[in-house]
Amino acid sequence: MEVTREDVGTVRAFNRFYTGVIGVLGEGLVRSPYSLTEARVIFELAQREDTEVLALRRVLDLDAGYLSRMLARFETDGLVVRERAAEDARRQIVRLTPRGREVFAMLDERSVAEIRGLLTGLDPGDRHRLLAAMRSINGILGDRPRGDAFVLRPPRPGDLGWVVERNGALYDEECGWDRTYEALVASVVADYVRGHDPERENAWIAESGGDRLGAVFCVRREDDVAQLRLLHVEPAARGTGVGAALVAECVRFAAEAGYAEIMLWTTALQRPAHRLYERAGFVLDEEEPPAERFGDVITGQIWRRKL
């Protein structure tokens, strides 16, 4: 999809707004004589005992001449010392002086105080939404955690509604199913809450950095048969092991709860999920005749695994 001028304008408006919020447009960052860029350099230097100037320039993506002039000013003010590396005279090393570390401590303390003040002024709901949005921006534009960088946890308040909402939205976008599917998900979740037996039923949310990545439910089908239900993985988290971990946790719980078998219902459309189930030891046991459901004609499937 093409990026529109309106899209660009939205990002630029946010940038102008947020730089004002964090005080960058004032005379100095956090009421100090240092600009945002100067503070970034000081913060970066404070993370280690000494830093190679070339590495500092690359990390911060700064012009070589601009950084050199800034470090010269810092040196004049007694904040840093520069010297040639002992093993290679072509490399220049820079480190904060005790005075430089005092300045870092001041900037860090004031930054923490300003951010705490910003967050304290929000009600809990708005604070949660703000932090979640910031994590989302960081996850999309930064280095997203992958692989095993997620946890499986029990549902918290709000999670069950999220399961219904995300299932409804994803199956509409990816399969074209109508709202009767979302209604089915809502009824499954409601039944889970109303008749929940913690010894024999459970649910998990996959989470990374505060972002919910997926979910699955394990419920009683019969006395000796468990059912895996409502497995979903967010598109951005697919291929990271989240789906396999959710299925494995569901199977593990069913076995420990004393079930002899675990089954699931899916459709012939969900081929990526089929591969997850096969790797977890499920086998296709029954395929139903095509039928009209959720505004579509689908072929239901039942998969089973002995425990």
Classify residue 105 as exposed, middle or buried by CB count within 10 Å of its CB (0-12, 13-18, 19+): exposed
Q: Is-above-0.95 flag for pTM?
A: no
Closest by CA position to 181, among listed 269, 50, 302? 269
pLDDT at 10 over 50: yes
Q: What is the pLDDT of residues 50-77, one digit of tens each?
A: 888 888 888 888 888 888 899 999 999 9
Q: What is the pLDDT of residues 28-41, one digit of tens each?
A: 555 678 887 888 88
Decide which of 170 and 91 is more confident.
170
The pLDDT of residue 38 is: 87
Closest by CA position to 258, among listed 301, 218, 217? 218
- Say which residues have a Cβ less than 8 Å from residue 290's Cβ, sequence separation at least 6: 297, 298, 299
The pLDDT of residue 9 is: 82
Q: The tokens of 148 are what?
A: 């095993």
Domains and CATH numbers, the chain: 5-121 (1.10.10.10), 151-306 (3.40.630.30)
DSSP single-letter state for residue 4: P
In which band, very low, low, confident or very high, does the pLDDT at 145 lie, cut at 50, 70 and 90?
very low
Q: What is the pLDDT of residues 169-227, one digit of tens each?
A: 999 988 899 999 999 999 999 999 998 898 999 999 999 878 899 999 999 999 999 99
**Alpha-carbon torsion (8, 11, 17, 18), positive or negative:** negative
Judged by average pLDDT, the poorest of 126-135, 138-147, 148-157 is 138-147
The pLDDT of residue 31 is: 67
Classify residue 227 as exposed, middle or buried by CB count within 10 Å of its CB (0-12, 13-18, 19+): buried
Q: What is the mean pLDDT of the chain?
A: 86
Decide which of 264 and 117 is more confident.
264
Q: What is the arrangement of strands in the sheet containing 300-306, beginning at the earlier edge strand?
A: 151-153, 202-208, 211-222, 225-233, 261-267, 300-306, 283-287
pLDDT at 27 over 50: no
Question: Chain centroid to CA 275: how far?
Answer: 24
Decide which of 257 and 49 is more confident.
257
